[in-house]
A = this chain, B = another copy of it.
Amino acid sequence: MTTLIDDIETPALIVNEQVALSNIRKYQDHCNAAGLALRPHIKTHKTVRFSREQIAAGAVGITCQKISEAEIMAQGGISDILITFNIWGEAKLFRLRALAENVEKLQVTADNEPVIRGLSAAFSSAAKPLGVMVECDAGAGRCGVQSAEGAVELAKIIVESPGLSFSGLMTYPAPGGAKNVVEFMRRAKDQLEQAGIACPAISSGGSPDMWSAETSGIVTEYRIGTYIFNDSSLVARGACGLSDCAAKVLATVVSLPANGRAIIDAGSKVMTSDTLGLEGFGLVVGHPDIKFTQLSEEHGTLEGATDKLKIGDRVSIIPNHICVVVNMFDTFWLQNSAGEFSLANVDARGLIT
């Protein structure tokens, strides 16, 4: 199916395939050179298509945050999946057990004993053990055990739990927190060795620090999501350039109510209110003197040099935070290297359980 960009109804999400594939390639090369296994997080693209491209480029597997995302990816043939979430409750454990039978390698994370007990109860009769990584809080202040001692304590419980195998340590660092990760993980790894527990992998991640994160031979695996599309937050943090941004929101100017103000048909229902600490709600491509200053649900407000715009003009926006924006679209337009557009599904959109 081929479509002209003028025929695309707005608001729409447009993904430049060549830029996305180039981003995949560049970071895979980086990980190969650094001796890191790359396990991309699908939360950014949410598509089987791009998961396959990441695997084909050399990724060891993928990362998902929810079972429902992993289910869709497994249906799409992805066979090595890490779910970085504490899975709890009978319904979810039942689904996790079924999922394990449909992939070659499945891992989850856990940061507390009740979750490990639940996983063990669900997998004690399984054909193969479920890999469980211990989630560590190396400074980000979200989930995770607070100390190396805490990590070893949970690793011991996993090792002793029927149906489970200890598959390593995992953390999601604060931006700029790679040094803390290395220190935490070195301590935990030493203590695991002292306890006679092998640590198959140490997994860290985060796109803001992707080019600079110190791994020191301690971190063995890197998880990132945003790098495939990039966004204005990563441009602002120097992790990529504007030309590396693969995904943009196409919008139409529908109102020019006053001097210096233009209203577009893309509001928080497509852009979301995530600012990631930036001013405004995205970069207006080709209009550095126009700011995206306000959002209602279906309207976006542009301010500045709007005198160049007329009703019906199209503008392209590079979002602040592309992951959450992709989640607002059922479908996106994929632009190939010949400039042709085809409509594709956001396979894992809205999968929250």
Contact = CB atoms under 8 A, between A and B. Distances in A.
A78 to B, nearest CB: 19
Contacts of A311: 86, 88, 112, 114-115
A252 B88 CA distance: 8
A273 B270 contact: no
A120 interface: no
A272 B350 CA distance: 12
A65 interface: yes
Contact of A143 (B9, B111, B274, B299): B299
A180 to B, nearest CB: 15
Contact of A274 (B141, B257, B268): B268
Contact of A328 (B137, B296, B301, B350): B350
A297 interface: yes
A120 to B, nearest CB: 14
Contacts of A297: 43, 65, 323-324, 327
Contacts of A294: 142
Contacts of A275: 273
Interface string A78-111: 0000000110110110000000000000000001
B274 A327 contact: no
B257 A268 contact: no
Contacts of A1: none
Interface string A39-62: 000010000000000000000000
How many identical subunits does the complex contain?
Answer: 2
A298 interface: yes
B261 A301 contact: no
A350 B269 CA distance: 7
A111 B257 contact: yes
A324 B9 contact: no
A126 interface: no
Contact of A92 (B9, B141, B261, B353): B9
Given A66-B298, A350-B328, A143 B255 contact: yes
A268 B324 CA distance: 8
Given A311-B112, A311-B115, A353-B9, A298 B255 contact: no
Given A112-B311, A311-B114, A85 B254 contact: yes
B111 A255 contact: yes
A346 to B, nearest CB: 10
A144 to B, nearest CB: 6
Interface in A124-176: 137, 141-146
A18 interface: no
Nearest to A225: B297
A352 interface: yes
B142 A324 contact: no
Interface string A199-216: 000000000000000000
Interface of A: 7, 9-11, 43, 65-66, 85-86, 88-89, 91-92, 111-112, 114-115, 137, 141-146, 252, 254-258, 261, 263, 265, 268-270, 272-275, 294, 296-299, 301, 310-312, 323-324, 327-330, 350, 352-353
Given A88-B265, A141-B258, A143-B299, 14 more contacts: A86-B254, A88-B311, A111-B257, A112-B256, A114-B311, A115-B255, A115-B311, A142-B263, A142-B299, A146-B258, A268-B272, A269-B352, A273-B324, A297-B323
22 contacts: A9-B91, A43-B297, A43-B298, A66-B298, A85-B265, A86-B255, A86-B263, A88-B252, A88-B265, A88-B312, A89-B312, A114-B311, A115-B255, A141-B258, A142-B299, A143-B255, A144-B257, A146-B258, A268-B324, A269-B324, A298-B352, A328-B352
